[in-house]
Structure 1
């Protein structure tokens, strides 16, 4: 069994060229936001070192991802209470469940969860934050189970707030978190790039934008769509690592920073604001 390696534990909480599915043109002058940091393609040990450094500099993670034989990506922003969150990596399915149970007892809940690897031996990474409100978290879901979980959550007033797909091309599994939320939202999953792009244009015409996106081992996409009034944002999929970095650099010059990043099999998808 893979040994869970915990990092940045906060004791008060837990004792190629990019192809786009469409973007919204950034405003000429985007609103100034918080200081941020983003990385991708880091090994487990490199990730631990980066987490320690960013934590000591006053940053906190807003999205994490593990893919491709335990390579890590994340986005951090500066500010917020340093004693209200914890981040873990390298967890087995049982290790993630154990960490989840411990976090809930301390009044924390997962805010970003990612997994990679086959269904019988996945690797998880997650961010937990101390926060109130109803939520549900499930992993190991088949596509049919994932669809059913979304319907059940929506009936309870919960919306999909974190999603990732793992497994193998012939056995896709999902891990998701559903949190208390207001307003309309939609979810899509198992979509090819072309289908995802069609969803993008259809949803955008109705005032919705993607706020979460993930790549599955078979190259299909999952997404969460919301109508939130954000004016300056961008959304790109089907990027390789170099393409993702170029987008980060180019959009930084326009005042945007990544708020969610996801990868699998060397293919990246991300959202900027």
Structure 2
């Protein structure tokens, strides 16, 4: 197990920020809080604490026998939101159906475990606009869902891989495309994903979502959005992720997505 990731792109890093980040020279900066490796009960307690303090979740991940990771920001949205964890596939479907009736849609979905007994976690927000959400997708089904979304003018905004090494499944959310050109990859080995990072960077794209599959392959969403200050690391242990977290925090970068499976972490900062 490597403790640090091979892939890293950091450009124009802004200095002078710490947890929590506060507004100042960076007009868009927000106070934020991130955690990883929490048990189900610890996650429930942390959710209550952060909600009471005025934070809201922007990304959630469940992995490795129901261990939770997430990133929260303070304020920044008037939308009503909810976060659910420990759901079965049926439980997630019920939550999804209830959300539709409430005018809510998923913004971040994660799952872990075999397809027949997967555990789901998700963030829902009350908001308008077209979207598509699907779970239990085989690789071929995932490719077909992306083709369908593209035809509808939607972009992949949340992705996670679960299942077993011999039966990889994907869960994704496709939302109205408001961020310019995008592309997606999946089933990439570490070396292939690393090559994609550098090839895409040459064309002005950067990874904005990344997920680790049970077989060690990677799925990612790439965007050409002009953001200059960002970092991306994969193939990290929990301690390796913590070290990157601490190092990048000192440089003014906040995590915007964290994903894990089988003890391997991948994350994006900006």
Give the TM-score, by structure 1 length.
0.92
User: Which residue is equivalent to 1:9?
Assistant: none
Offset, 1:81: 4.6
Are 2:46 and 1:60 aligned?
no
SS in 1 for 2:241: helix
Are 2:202 and 1:205 aligned?
yes
**Any stretches of 5+ residues in structure 2 without a counterpart?**
17-24
Question: Deviations for 1:99-129, whole angstroms, at most 9, x for unmatched residues?
Answer: 0000011111000000000000000000000
Give the one of 143, 147, 150 matched to 1:147.
143
Give the one of 41, 60, 72 matched to 1:45.
41
SS in 1 for 2:148: helix
Are 2:21 and 1:19 aligned?
no
Question: Deviations for 1:187-233, whole angstroms, at most 9, x for unmatched residues?
Answer: 00000000001111111000000000000000000000001111111
SS in 1 for 2:116: coil
Give the TM-score, by structure 2 length.
0.93
What are the within-5 Å matches in structure 2 for residues 87-126 of structure 1? 87-126=83-122
CA RMSD of aligned residues (A): 1.2
2:259, 2:34 → 1: CA distance? 12
User: Which residue is equivalent to 1:165?
Assistant: 161
1:28, 1:55 → 2: CA distance? 28
Distance 1:119 1:83, change over 3 A: same
1:28, 1:158 → 2: CA distance? 32
The count of corresponding residues between Structure 1 and Structure 2 is 258
SS in 1 for 2:65: coil
Distance 1:83 1:161, change over 3 A: closer
SS in 1 for 2:232: strand
User: Which residue is equivalent to 2:22?
Assistant: none
Q: Spell out structure 1 runs of 4+ moving beyond 2 A.
A: 24-32, 80-83
What are the within-5 Å matches in structure 2 for residues 172-191 of structure 1? 172-182=168-178, 183-191=180-188
